[in-house]
Structure 1
Amino acid sequence: MSDANNNPLLYGLEQRIAPLPGFFSALQHVLAGLISIVTPPLIIGAALGLGPWMPYLISMSLLASGIGTLLQANRIRGIGAGMICMQGTSFAFVGVAISGGLWVKGQGGGPEDIMAMLFGVNFVAALVPVLISRFIEPLKRIFTPLITGTVIALIGISLIKVSVMNWSGGKGAGDFGSPTNIALGAGTLGVIVLLSCSPNRWLRLASIVIGIVVGCIAAALTGNFHPTMPGDSWFRLPALFPFGFQFNWAIFLPIALVSLVCVLEAVGDLTANSLISQQPIDNAAFRSRLKGGILADGLSCMVAAALCAFPNTTFAQNNGVIQMTGVASRYVGRYMAGILIVLGLFPPFGELLRQIPAPVLGGATMVMFGCVVAAGIRIITQNPLTQRDMLIVGLSFGIGLGSEAVPGALVHFPDIVATLMGSAAASGGLTAIVLNLIMPGEKASPALTARSGHDSPDSV
């Protein structure tokens, strides 16, 4: 076992897990990522006037997430990373999707025309990660531990901002920042931390679910949680391209560029996942895992577009859940996929989970997202940093965090530039890549020592 991660796992990557602990582990991953899955279609739909189709878009987002997560966990014929990799829409796609939809609207198109264009373009743009996955080996001097560690740390920091927003009550909440909201989040966080340190494997395994349940009970007792049974239909049958298929190069190019940036984020997420799962991160087996993971991302995007969901990419949230619970078994991914598919096909279940109070989710995700940052730092510091490495990391963090902290700084640039560089992971990651290629001295941080005795990523 690597010194970088000497905490024993309750379940290793290839270790099978019984149904009950498997379900509890999967449910915690789903709870950690649920809001991030359903929020992009809510934002895009509201901006483009797609209100009547919003429930359908949310259901298909959950269904596509489940199918993509299953691809990643199974790793059949080299498709998938063979790890717990939840799929969902990156917020980087929100801006370009809205811009593309507004362009269609400006041309006189209605809601169905907007969706036909967006999902048609997204289907073609999915070829970007598919093609890049074929060239992972030549790109290994770009995807170094120094760069991927920087990207994953920036992703975690960005997620923490979302966690704090929820902890305070959620964007636009009338009681934003109230003592009650802060107390609910703190109580949820405290329960999760206490249980995750328990020597009892069941308490540790179910720590996040128990913490959220306790938080919901506390919210109900204080009058801040009133769950209602949705009146939507109980079953939703999916259809392929129900609004048709359209394509336009002007809309395609920005979305393709965002897809390229999301590949960089996915590489960071997959690297952190491998490290937390106690797998090697600098050998042929790891690059094979990366290749399969990026390929599955692309195929997942195609499935999402066909179902009328927005592009999928590997989420970072589940890395924190693995760290907290000690469960890295890829078989948990199958349970996750099953839960997400059920939520997509039976909308009321997903709607009930979506009613979990924002402060409770904020407190629960804070510890997970903090673990994502820690995983990125651990990747960066696997070996002593040279002065050159320190400069690359420092500038990348400065530009990445600065661009996200002051989004208006690029207001006079084209929308695509503002969208891409407004993300800490994208701007910081691109900065790290450019500096790593042009700065004199070593072209990459020292290679990590490959670990032996791990299962091949090709095993199923």
Structure 2
Amino acid sequence: MTAKNAGAQASPKTNHDLIYHLEDTPAFGPAFFAALQHVLASFIGIITPTLIVGGVLGLGSEVPYLVSMALVVSGVGTFIQARRIGPIGSGLLCVQGTSFAFLSTILSVGFIVKNAGGGPDEILATIFGVCFLAAFVEVFLSRFIHRLGRIITPVVTGTVITIIGLSLIKVGMTDLAGGFGADDFGSLENLGLGGLVLATIIIMNRFKNPMIRLSAVIVGLLVGFSVAWVLGRVDFSGLSSLPLLTVPQPFKYGFSFDIAAFVSLAVIYVVTAIETTGDLTANSIVSSQPVNGPIYLNRIKSGVLADGFNSAMAAALNSLPMTTFSQNNGVIQLTGVASRRVAYYIAGILALLGLFPYIGGILQQMPKPVLGGATLIMFGTVATAGVKILAQCELNRRNMLIVAVSIGLGLGVAAVPEVLQELPKTLQNIIGSPVSIGAFSAIILSLFLPDESAQHAEEDLPDQHLETDSSPSRTTDTQQATRADTLTDSAKPLGGTAS
């Protein structure tokens, strides 16, 4: 088949709803308005993991700076992903932000250092040092992403995502009740604040207007924050001590390494690479770009490479690992603007917001029950996204065994951590996280339990999209969109996970 014919095969079905296509240059007004909607859709997802880590690990005065860095690196990462610098970047309008997928493992790493007597600087030095080095796992895998689907199957991905969500629900519920060690834990006022946020988000999600649904979490937090302010639970007196501007300082807290933490995080980076493949596929579909052939394959490889590179950059600039957000694909459909130049505006807005530590200082004052009311839904959505992936797999005896054993081990370790106390300390640290032991279990069982159905049907989602041969496509555009949605939902509520 000639190159011309191969290119024609790779061409997507035209999306007539687009007003501005990928390479179009919108005027300032439409571009800025579209960018603002992307920022509103992703803002909470970008800052929430940092707020949770800061609150749970007791990082105190460092939180405003960490929130600022999360916004700055999201802006820079978004620019790199859209601009495509050399081989790095997909060249699509997609937002980079902090990932929820790493949260449980990062908290485990932080507690290991904290329980050993380490303070905030030691905790952050270890977290960012390990995240920096582990990010190169994803950089390396980006060159072989089209082959990963044979190892990280939908059953493995769905299981890991489900465990991530279920293991984090305890964090959300604890915050809703007042937070770890709160004197008024479980008080009616705390439950009322958390319940108000929860109810607001639920009600707004029932509206038919997609923009209202996209802003449900932001509105819920604003309502809860306002009520908490009226109740006298918000104190802005500490803002006066914050500097006017924040300047990024590479490895501000130092650099430390832990091999057990590295192994645990490396597994999550592998799963994240598969998630990013799904997000970029869905973005290609809504942007009227190819979803098979060499152009698509190169775009996916470059996009996953950007994910890994941006995560390493984030760690160097004192922020948590990054990922490609999924909810922004809905914003493209809503606005009809797929121009990647809009990402430059998004990047500018996020980076500008990050330069002002007052934003992080204000967000730090958000009472735990208010944040808990929102994160409870977010983490529940993560678990549900994992269940959705599993529901679209063939749950035969083999796959059900993989899911049952992996979730059982993951949640079992979370509920009874003492079960590992006789193991060597390093091994405890590697498999002590519910996500780590669940992911290891799912991957190992998937590799060693024979899959008889695989001999009769191709169930490899990433490879079906990453075809490089010239054989006619076996899937319709509708089927490709459905499979892309399946991968997109892998783990991203509001920012790293399904919204």
TM bin, normalised by shorter chain, reads 0.7 to 0.9
Q: Structure 1 stretch 426-435 or stretch 325-334: which is displaced more?
A: 325-334
Identify the match of residue 365 of structure 1 among 367, 375, 385: 375
Identify the match of residue 389 of structure 2 among 359, 379, 389: 379
In structure 2, the residue matched to 1:452 is: 477
Query: CA separation in 1, counterparts of 2:262 and 2:375?
Result: 30
In structure 1, the residue matched to 2:152 is: 143
* 1:362 partner letter: G
In structure 1, the residue matched to 2:361 is: 351
Change (3 A) 1:175 1:42: closer
| Aligned partner of residue 86 in structure 1, secondary structure | strand
Change (3 A) 1:274 1:394: farther
Structural mapping, 1:53-202, within 5 Å: 56=65, 59-72=68-81, 79-80=88-89, 82=92, 83-87=94-98, 90-91=102-103, 92-93=105-106, 96=109, 123-202=132-211
Kept in 1, the 8 Å contact 2:39–2:350? The answer is no
Q: Does 2:438 correspond to 1:432?
A: no
| Aligned partner of residue 230 in structure 1, secondary structure | helix
Query: CA separation in 2, counterparts of 1:200 and 1:60?
Result: 33
What is the alpha-carbon root mean square deviation over aligned residues?
A: 4.4
Change (3 A) 1:306 1:264: closer
What displacement does 1:435 show? 0.7
TM-score under structure 1 length normalisation: 0.75
Query: CA separation in 2, counterparts of 1:253 and 1:278?
Result: 37
What displacement does 1:163 show? 1.6
Q: Structure 1 stretch 176-185 or stretch 69-78: which is displaced more?
A: 69-78
Kept in 2, the 8 Å contact 1:101–1:118? The answer is no
Query: CA separation in 1, counterparts of 2:426 and 2:115?
Result: 14
What displacement does 1:103 show? 9.7
Query: CA separation in 2, counterparts of 1:114 and 1:187?
Result: 34
Kept in 2, the 8 Å contact 1:404–1:424? The answer is yes
Gaps of 5+ in 1: 1-8
Change (3 A) 1:436 1:344: same
What displacement does 1:434 show? 0.6
Kept in 2, the 8 Å contact 1:154–1:400? The answer is yes
Identify the match of residue 405 of structure 1 among 404, 415, 418: 415
Identify the match of residue 305 of structure 2 among 290, 295, 299: 295
What displacement does 1:206 show? 2.4
Gaps of 5+ in 2: 1-16, 465-474, 485-499
Change (3 A) 1:34 1:324: same
What displacement does 1:220 show? 2.3
In structure 2, the residue matched to 1:4 is: none
Kept in 2, the 8 Å contact 1:195–1:203? The answer is yes
Identify the match of residue 433 of structure 2 among 414, 423, 429: 423
Query: CA separation in 1, counterparts of 2:327 and 2:379?
Result: 6
Structural mapping, 1:26-37, within 5 Å: 26-37=39-50
What displacement does 1:73 show? 5.5
Kept in 2, the 8 Å contact 1:263–1:294? The answer is no
Q: What per-residue deviation string (whole Å, max 9, x for no partner) do you get for residues 370-429 of structure 1?
A: 222222122122243211111111111111211222223223334443233233322212
Query: CA separation in 1, counterparts of 2:348 and 2:310?
Result: 15
In structure 2, the residue matched to 1:213 is: 222
| Aligned partner of residue 314 in structure 1, secondary structure | strand
| Aligned partner of residue 144 in structure 2, secondary structure | coil
What displacement does 1:77 show? 5.2
Kept in 2, the 8 Å contact 1:119–1:310? The answer is yes
Change (3 A) 1:69 1:407: farther
What displacement does 1:234 show? 0.7
| Aligned partner of residue 266 in structure 1, secondary structure | helix
Q: What per-residue deviation string (whole Å, max 9, x for no partner) do you get for residues 329-348 of structure 1?
A: 88787666445433432111
Q: Does 2:282 correspond to 1:257?
A: no
What displacement does 1:433 show? 0.9
Change (3 A) 1:169 1:340: farther
Kept in 2, the 8 Å contact 1:279–1:451? The answer is no
Kept in 2, the 8 Å contact 1:399–1:428? The answer is yes
Query: CA separation in 2, counterparts of 1:373 and 1:10?
Result: 32
Q: What per-residue deviation string (whole Å, max 9, x for no partner) do you get for residues 130-157 of structure 1?
A: 1122222232211211111111222222
> How many residues are aligned here?
432
Change (3 A) 1:327 1:172: farther
In structure 1, the residue matched to 2:401 is: 391
Query: CA separation in 1, counterparts of 2:129 and 2:460?
Result: 41
What displacement does 1:179 show? 1.5
Kept in 2, the 8 Å contact 1:104–1:113? The answer is no
What displacement does 1:198 show? 1.1
TM-score under structure 2 length normalisation: 0.70
What displacement does 1:233 show? 0.8
Identity of aligned residues (%): 35
Kept in 1, the 8 Å contact 2:160–2:438? The answer is yes
What displacement does 1:113 show? 9.9
Query: CA separation in 2, counterparts of 1:397 and 1:114?
Result: 28
Query: CA separation in 2, counterparts of 1:324 and 1:180?
Result: 36
